Structure 1
Amino acid sequence: MHTPNILIAGASRGIGLGLVETWLIKGARVRALIRSPNATLLQLHDRFHTQLSLIEADMTADDCIHKVLADLGDEQLDMLVLNAGQYGPAAQDVLTTSSTEVADLFMTNAIAPMRLARALQDRVLSSGVIAFMSSQMASVELALARDMPLYGASKAALNSLIRSWSHSADAPKASLLALHPGWVKTDMGGEQAPVEIADSVNGLIQVMEKQAGRGGCYFRSYDQQVLAW
């Protein structure tokens, strides 16, 4: 029986951590890309030491790709999940945000995940999935980012890069997914969010497993909804 081999970038907390734990319980081999380990991840590593590897690297750093490739060796991946992201400036106002804040936001939410995915595309099986954590706020048509315009714009940039990649000459054979996890009770989502981490995680995994082997490019919600780009 094939053991799924999964790499999750942005795995130290919230949805990323939930994906790590859920896939470990399902028996998968998981690599967690993190800036630094925390107590919860170290406990998971002790519990699942034969299944879980921790890769310490900043996804926006120049040496990140080298560290990930060194850890992978000759192994192939069934799932590559790019989950790292940030909210951005608190004010979310183009009139007051600095150039540095905007550059950091778009690098973290759009450029860095795409750069890592492009570098690893040949390591993902054609029957596999390359999934990016996007947001319904990325949808230009739905226009839901009124209160978070900079965050929404950064995720829209990510979605644009994903779709452009899917139509390029070097488009991956693996399925490409932009995923909306729901409004989740995380540090970013806040306690008022209606979706529990476990419900989001289980739904996201179902979406990814459903799309595995299909190829193509999709924008999906954790609850199976098709979202407008």
Structure 2
Amino acid sequence: MSTTSDRRALIIGASRGLGLVLANELIRRGWQVIATTRRSGGELQANADASDGRLTVESLEMTSPEELAALRDRLDDSRLDLLFVNAAIDRGNLPIGEVPTAMFTEVMITNALSPLRAVEALRGLVAPGGTVAVMSSEQGSISQNTEDGYELYKASKAALNQLMRSYATRNADDGHTKLLIDPGHNRTQLGGPDAPLTPEESIPAVVDVLEAQAGAPGLQFLDRNGKTVAW
């Protein structure tokens, strides 16, 4: 593991919302951060310009295997203490019988398949003792699914959790800490304006968890306070 002053993180999906605040919080704590965005410019690039080199921005469409491979090649000389994949979409509150096939495919590719493709493509950059983390949600908990609504989103997060579980089983001996993180219900474009939390409230706690769990073996599904979320 790196020393406190030269810890390096790669955040996939940091142009806005939770990912943007995560990048800012890590930089505030002294990390070097590489952050990806699908579109150039915006607040992320402005933050990078003002970061004195602590934040660099890379272009990535996470759903493209070709772009993931190109990013992997560009970062070949980098060694990461943290790989954090943050990406999700929501297409509304439809009962599953009313969900068009194209919508189902889009959400599952973005929320479940693509994050694990990113992990697979970039895991080799993570140093021994480093952390591979994915932003999940308590909405993906099967045992806690006791309220109606958002069936497709819940299914996509449950699929993400299951795929991460399979990944962790297959790579149990790679020496990486593996985390699924539930940041709570936040006021973001995805979470909506009525959510009880802001990213500025939840993300510092998330980073506390990431730092506290560094070096821990196995896969854990944790909330922003470090408590286990039921599968």
Give, in angstroms, the shift of residue 169 of structure 1.
5.2
The aligned counterpart of 1:32 is 35
Give, in angstroms, the shift of residue 192 of structure 1.
1.3
State the TM-score, normalized to the length of structure 2.
0.93
Question: After superposition, where does 1:142-181 map in structure 2 within 5 Å?
Answer: 142-144=144-146, 146-168=148-170, 172-181=174-183
Q: 2:147 and 2:80 mapped to 1: Cα distance?
A: 33
The aligned counterpart of 1:225 is 227
The aligned counterpart of 1:188 is 190
* Among 76, 84, 87, the residue aligned to 1:84: 87
Q: Which residue identity lines up with residue 187 of structure 1 in the other structure? A: Q
* Among 14, 17, 42, the residue aligned to 2:17: 14
Label 1:169 to 1:21 Cα distance change in 2 as closer, same or farther (>3 A).
closer
The aligned counterpart of 1:42 is 45
State the TM-score, normalized to the length of structure 1.
0.94
The aligned counterpart of 2:98 is 96
Give the secondary structure class of the aligned counterpart of 2:33. strand
Label 1:48 to 1:144 Cα distance change in 2 as closer, same or farther (>3 A).
farther
Which consecutive residues of structure 2, in runs of 5 or more, have no partner in the other structure? none
Cα deviation 1:158-185 (Å, max 9, x = unaligned): 0001111111256642111111010111
Label 1:122 to 1:30 Cα distance change in 2 as closer, same or farther (>3 A).
same
The answer as to whether partners of 2:76 and 2:125 remain within 8 angstroms in 1 is no
Give, in angstroms, the shift of residue 6 of structure 1.
0.4
Which consecutive residues of structure 1, in runs of 5 or more, have no partner in the other structure? none
Label 1:144 to 1:44 Cα distance change in 2 as closer, same or farther (>3 A).
farther
* Among 206, 209, 214, the residue aligned to 1:207: 209
Give the secondary structure class of the aligned counterpart of 2:69. helix
The answer as to whether partners of 1:145 and 1:152 remain within 8 angstroms in 2 is no
Give the secondary structure class of the aligned counterpart of 1:125. strand
Q: 1:185 and 1:177 mapped to 2: Cα distance?
A: 23
Structure 1 stretches of 4+ with a deviation exceeding 4 A read: none
Query: Identity rate of aligned residues, in percent?
Result: 31
What's the RMSD between the two structures over aligned residues?
A: 1.5
The aligned counterpart of 2:73 is 70
Label 1:115 to 1:47 Cα distance change in 2 as closer, same or farther (>3 A).
same
